[in-house]
């Protein structure tokens, strides 16, 4: 604790952080049964057609007494405690169920689901994905799995095999947070993926001629030369959007268009967006 201008500023110590983590891991195991987990959906906007073709599902945890806990905090805990496989199955099932409801209402969207680092070690996951697609009668082409770059490079041979299995039936794969890992071009070339997603740290504050802009531009060219679709996340302002258009980025996602939304709000957002663009 530290006194400053009459205020006591509270700084949690290491033990307290550790205790919070232990408590959260315990509570996380109850979170599904207690219906504290839910999904928000953020539109991915296609720049050429000005259409929303996909949305990304992002997980939210509303803890009974602590309020909202961000995924950047609880996903790593779920990974360490081995509970993340159950979370991933919950997210896949919920996202596909939601997709089926939208389809029934005449809204044909693809849905992207984030996989955790640990999920690639889960040999049963590809079968679960196929079963879940069948159960909800969602065409495999409507599912996109986002895997972060770092994960793929730890054991390239293994990752390639697993990605091939996950891709069965036309499920699409995206490399998330691209640019933050250390993949070589040789490794990248072997990955059976469809999309590169440029990390928001390069996109958020892009300005003409900046290092960020150079990185983004070359990543888009790299992706296109490899036959991949390229999306930029973290598009917050018109400067970034203008540059991304100029560089022929395929899709954009970010607060400039919409924050992640609850399912009904997303439908409403899509309706207004299509009207405005029509
Ligand atoms: P991500 O997959 O890279 O998701 C993008 C994050 O950026 C999301 O944060 C999103 O809300 C946020 N974002 C979107 N647009 C903007 C923008 O314009 N500016 C800024 N500054 N941020 C933007 P969120 O929802 O807090 O998720 C954080 C991370 O947690 C995700 O990064 C993903 O790695 C992980 N995550 C979220 N949901 C899931 C899930 O269901 N399963 C797994 N395994 N991980 C998840
Ligand atoms: Mg993602
Ligand atoms: Mg990302
Ligand atoms: Mg991320």
Q: What is the 3-state secondary structure (H, E, C) of the chain?
A: CEEECCEEECCCCHHHHHHHHHHHHHHHHHHCCCCCEEEEEEEEEECCCCEEEEEEEEEEEEECCCEEECHHHHHHHHHHHCCHHHHHHHHHHHHHHHHHHHHHCCCCCEEEEECCHHHHHCCCHHHHHHHHHHHHCCCHHHEEEEEEHHHHHHCHHHHHHHHHHHCHHHCEEEEEEECCCCCCHHHHHHCCCCEEEECHHHHCCCCCCCHHHHHHHHHHHHHHHCCCEEEECCCCCHHHHHHHHHCCCCEECCCCCCCCECHHHHHHHHHHHHHHHC
At residue 60, what are phi and psi to the nearest 5 degrees? -125, 140
**Ligand at shortest distance from the CA of 204:** 1
pLDDT of residue 183: 77
For 147-175, what is the mean pLDDT? 90
The angle formed by the CA atoms of residues 199, 202 and 203, to the nearest 5 degrees, is 85
More confident: 277 or 20: 20
d(CA 86, CA 12) in angstroms, rounded, equals: 30
* Radius of gyration for the chain, computed over Cα atoms and rounded to the nearest angstrom: 20
Is the pLDDT at 241 greater than 70, yes or no? yes
Contact (Cβ atoms closer than 8 angstroms) between residue 236 and residue 204: yes
Q: If you average pLDDT over residues 61-86, what whole number do you get? A: 95
pLDDT on residue 1? 45
ipTM over 0.85: yes
Q: Which two tokens stand for residue 230?
A: 């390229």
In angstroms, rounded to a whole number, what is the distance separating the alpha carbons of residues 55 and 41? 6
> What is the distance in A from the centroid of ligand 4 to the CA of 106?
31
pLDDT at 10: 65
pLDDT at residue 2 in the model: 46
Mean pLDDT, rounded, for 118-132? 95
Q: Which residues lie across from 147 on neighbouring strands?
A: 175
| Amino acid 112: pLDDT | 98
Cα–ligand 4 centroid distance for 105 (angstroms): 31
Nearest CA to ligand 1 atom 3: 177
pLDDT at position 4, please? 52
Q: Which residues have any ligand 1 atom within 6 Å of their CB? A: 42, 58-59, 70-72, 75, 91, 114-116, 146, 176-177, 200, 204, 233-236, 254-255, 260
Rounded Cα–Cα distance for residues 126 and 143 (Å): 13
Is 3's pLDDT higher than 80? no
Whole-model pTM: value is: 0.94
- Alpha carbon nearest to ligand 1 atom 45, residue: 114
Using the predicted structure, report yes or no on whether residue 240 has a pLDDT greater than 90: yes
């Amino acid at each position: 604790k530290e006194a400053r201008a009459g205020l006591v500023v509270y700084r949690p110590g290491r033990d307290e952080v550790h205790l919070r983590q232990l408590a959260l891991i315990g509570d996380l195991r109850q979170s599904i049964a207690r219906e504290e987990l839910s999904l928000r959906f953020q539109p991915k906007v296609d720049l050429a057609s000005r259409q929303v073709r996909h949305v990304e599902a992002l997980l939210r945890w509303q803890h009974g007494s602590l309020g909202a806990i961000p995924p950047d905090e609880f996903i790593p805990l779920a990974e360490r405690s081995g509970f993340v496989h159950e979370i991933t199955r919950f997210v896949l099932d919920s996202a596909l169920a939601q997709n089926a409801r939208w389809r029934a209402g005449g809204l044909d969207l693809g849905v992207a689901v984030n996989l955790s680092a640990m999920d690639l070690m889960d040999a049963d996951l590809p079968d679960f994905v196929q079963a879940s697609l069948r159960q909800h009668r969602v065409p495999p082409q409507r599912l996109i799995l986002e895997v972060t770059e770092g994960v793929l490079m730890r054991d390239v041979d293994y990752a390639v095999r697993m990605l091939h299995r996950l891709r069965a039936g036309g499920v699409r794969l995206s490399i998330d947070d691209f640019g933050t890992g250390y993949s070589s071009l040789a490794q990248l070339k072997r990955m059976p993926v469809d999309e590169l997603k440029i990390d928001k740290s390069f996109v958020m504050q892009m300005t003409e001629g900046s290092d960020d802009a150079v990185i983004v531009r070359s990543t888009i060219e790299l992706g296109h030369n490899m036959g991949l679709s390229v999306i930029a996340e973290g598009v917050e302002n018109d400067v970034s959007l203008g540059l991304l258009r100029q560089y022929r980025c395929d899709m954009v996602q970010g607060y400039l268009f919409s924050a992640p939304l609850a399912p009904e709000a997303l439908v409403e957002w899509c309706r207004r967006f299509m009207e405005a663009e029509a």
